[in-house]
Amino acid sequence: MTSVETSLSSHFAVGDLMHVSITYESTTLDWWAADPSSGLYLAITSLDVSVGSYTASGSDGSFIIHDNDSGRDYVSGQVLSAAASMGSPFTGTLTGPDVAGLPLWMFDVGLSDSTQTALSSDALPTSFDPSRFDYRQLSLAWRHETDHGTYNDRIVATDFTSTSSFHPVPVPGALLLAGLGLGMASRLCHRTRRSA
């Protein structure tokens, strides 16, 4: 981890390893098909996150892909715990223990490239080089409600290693993004459909 909010510091510390495994359906259709530079894919089918002895899992999350949006390429993936109550189809279910009395709220991944060269379209990528993105972040958030509003207290892993890479393997295997850097390891997986 590269950042831990004070409210979570009795459970996590900078330098802790975050391990992430995301499985997604690579043939998922784009909800924003009419927009040539932005794609929304309800593709995430499973998520597993661990930091030390803490584990969380989720499903039914989304990816948002922007090709040259506001001068950058951007990939955002999210699994959010309260999707059903929010009535949103764009987020999924995340479960994990409370930390410091706070309920688990969200996992997200963000990749951003200011050179606009990491992506060639808004298609859901089945392979790409994470080192082409100049900003890379994973985070877990716990919901913190006060009299002044609702906040997300986070632990964050940023700038995961430039040696990360995808490795396609057959179904029911996955597409791997393996990375070690700044106390974080990550893995992304995808499923592809086979013809009968």
pTM for this entry:
0.76
In a domain, 107, yes or no: yes
pLDDT, residue 13, reads 93
Average pLDDT (142-157) is: 74
List the domain range (segments joined by +) for residue 129.
3-191
In a domain, 19, yes or no: yes
For residue 50, pLDDT over 80 is answered with yes
pLDDT, residue 151, reads 66
Give me the number of domains the chain comprises.
1
From 187, 189, 126, 120, select the one nearest 157 (Cα to Cα). Answer: 187
Output the average pLDDT for the chain. 75
Half-sphere exposure of 165 (CA within 13 A, CB side): 4
For residue 170, pLDDT over 70 is answered with no
* pLDDT band at residue 82 using 50, 70 and 90 as cut-offs: low
In a domain, 196, yes or no: no
